[in-house]
Amino acid sequence: MALIDAALRGALIALLLLAAIALWPRRRHARLGHLAITGMALALSLAVQAVSASPWVEYELSCWAQSPGIGVSLGSAVLYWLFARAVFDDDFRLRAWHGAVWAGVALYGASVCAWAARWPLPGFVLMRAVPIVFALLALAAVAAPWRADLIEKRRWWRGIVVGGGAVYALVMVSLRIFASPDGRLTPAVALLDAAMLCTLTAFVAARLLSPRAAGLWDEAPPTAPAPRVEPPPPSADPQDDALAAALARAMGEGRGYAQEGLSLAGLAAQLRVPEYRLRRVINQRLGHRNFNAYVNGLRLAEARRRLADPAERTLPVLSLALDVGFGSIGPFNRAFKADTGLTPTEFRQRALAET
């Protein structure tokens, strides 16, 4: 069993390092750089965890020798949550406070030898709670935008990876609490730990390292330049054409975007089409990646038009926000400033001054 465990952990570390190498060229990508950085940090952190959670380390080394690895392993929970957010939120950006949260969790884990002797029970309860909390936060990052995500590939395989990783974290914390003496993994549980993590990592690595797979990026990999050949015109899908026209009417003349709480399922029901077909049209025909962002874009375009209209200069901003579909003034102000760099009032004053 010890040899199998060592072999699995060696393979796991090799796959994690390969994944980090595959992510490295994307670290400066305009849209995907934060995903690449969090993915690399997570891969390296899990490589440390693969070593620190091995039976030999847990049973043969002293607490102080293990403490750096324990800190890095506990910090993996934070990195996993950030990775889940980066995967599913196209607007996610790493912030300084993200690093502060990781550092706080890692330092707490690394100080286990100092607090274990003084307050072992509350200390270990908190230590076990950290992975559970961040695993649940990662699951929330998966579940919250699931229905609004318009990219079919991302909805499925990324959900398997991120959701499967969260389930792995919950299972391993439960095993450390209920099936392992003193919180240390028995050889059998340690082998299960290595096997589960190796399976998840192999799945991700296969996507990242496959030269023909869009993988994590939802875009075709770069190819060598080829002679320009004009492709034949694509054959139009009459059903998609009809749906695109119906969608344009519903969201244009019908002002469908003004419905508060409008969802993809609700709009599909109104148009009497399957949800997957509407998702495909909005994504592939209109180029949008997220349904909520698509709807908010229409709302903000209408808001900008009306704020610049001299005939509506006396209309309160709150009334306008509610009329275009926002539920309250706060989300409207935040979305408007993120889109234009100005508050609605500042935008109106500048637009009316120019006219």
Domain termination residue (choose one: 165, 185, 217): 217
pLDDT in tens, the chain (355 residues): 788 888 989 999 999 999 899 889 888 887 778 989 999 999 999 999 999 989 888 888 898 999 999 999 999 999 999 998 888 777 788 999 999 999 999 999 999 888 887 777 788 888 889 998 998 888 888 777 777 778 777 677 666 777 788 788 888 888 877 766 667 778 888 888 888 888 888 877 777 666 544 445 555 444 434 344 344 344 457 788 899 999 999 999 899 999 988 889 899 999 999 998 999 899 888 888 889 889 999 999 999 999 999 999 999 999 999 999 998 999 999 999 989 999 999 999 999 988 7
Domain termination residue (choose one: 183, 217, 251): 217
Q: Residue 249 sits in a domain of what CATH number?
A: 1.10.10.60
- The verdict on 349 and 256 lying in the same domain is yes
- The verdict on 81 and 186 lying in the same domain is yes
Tell me phi and psi for residue 283, to 5 degrees.
-80, -50
Range of the domain at 294: 238-354
**What are the beta bridge partners of residue 290?**
149
Whether residue 228 lies inside any domain: the answer is no
- The verdict on 170 and 274 lying in the same domain is no
Whether residue 152 lies inside any domain: the answer is yes
Q: Distance (Å, rounded) from C-alpha 284 to C-alpha 277? A: 10
Residue range 232-247, pLDDT digits in tens: 344 457 788 899 999 9
Q: Residue 121 sits in a domain of what CATH number?
A: 1.20.1070
Tell me, rounded to whole angstroms, the distance of Cα 303 from its chain centroid: 29
Residue 290: DSSP 8-state: B
- The verdict on 274 and 207 lying in the same domain is no
Domain count for the chain: 2
Residue range 3-35, pLDDT digits in tens: 888 898 999 999 999 989 988 988 888 777 898
Whether residue 342 lies inside any domain: the answer is yes
SS3 of 149, please?
A: strand
Q: Which pairs count as long-range contacts for 132-136, CB under 8 Å and 24+ apart, including other chains? A: 132/169, 132/170, 132/173, 133/77, 134/77, 134/78, 134/80, 134/81, 134/169, 135/77, 135/80, 135/81, 135/165, 135/166, 135/167, 135/169, 135/170, 135/173, 136/166
Whether residue 289 lies inside any domain: the answer is yes
- The verdict on 45 and 164 lying in the same domain is yes
